[in-house]
Structure 1
Amino acid sequence: MAEEAKKKDRTRWFREMKSEMKKIVWTDRKTVVKDTGTVLLCSLLIGACIWIADYFFINGIQLIITFLK
C-alpha cells in the first residue's frame, strides 16, 4: 500500500511540474545575448576596479613599510 502511495505522489509531482513548465515565458535570443553582454561588461568593469584598488593598496602598504624601516 505504501508503494502505491509513493507512485501516486511521484506521478502527481511530475504532472504538476509539467503544468508549471508550460507557464514559463522564455526570453528571445536577442534579449539573452544583450543581457549576457551587460553582465560580462559589468563583471569586467568591477574586476578592473578591484584590480586597480588592489594595486594602490599594495603600493601604499609597501611605501608605509619602507618609511618605518
Structure 2
Amino acid sequence: MSTISRFSREKLRRARLSAGLSQRQLAYCLDVSSSSVLRWEQGTCSPIADRLPQIAEILGIEIKDLFEEASDEVQD
C-alpha cells in the first residue's frame, strides 16, 4: 500500500480563518491576487510548491498540515 498526499483546500481555509486572516489579507502577505487564494480554497487550482513554506509560516502551521493523505492500495 502506498500513501498519496494532496493539497487540502479545506485545511487551507481552516488555517487561514484560525489565523484571523481574510483571503485578501493572505493574498497580500503572499504577494498574489485574492482570486488566487479564492481558487486555492475552491479547489480549482493549488499553490505552487515554492509558495508552501511561506503559506505555512504566515498561517503558523507546518507544510504537512496543508495536505491530506489518501491511501492508495497497489495490487499486484
Between structures 1 and 2, the one with greater strand share = 2
Shorter-chain TM-score range: under 0.3
The answer to which structure, 1 or 2, has the higher relative contact order (CA under 8 A, 6+ apart) is 2
- The two structures have a TM-score, normalised by structure 2, of 0.20
Between structures 1 and 2, the one with greater helix share = 1
- The two structures have a TM-score, normalised by structure 1, of 0.22
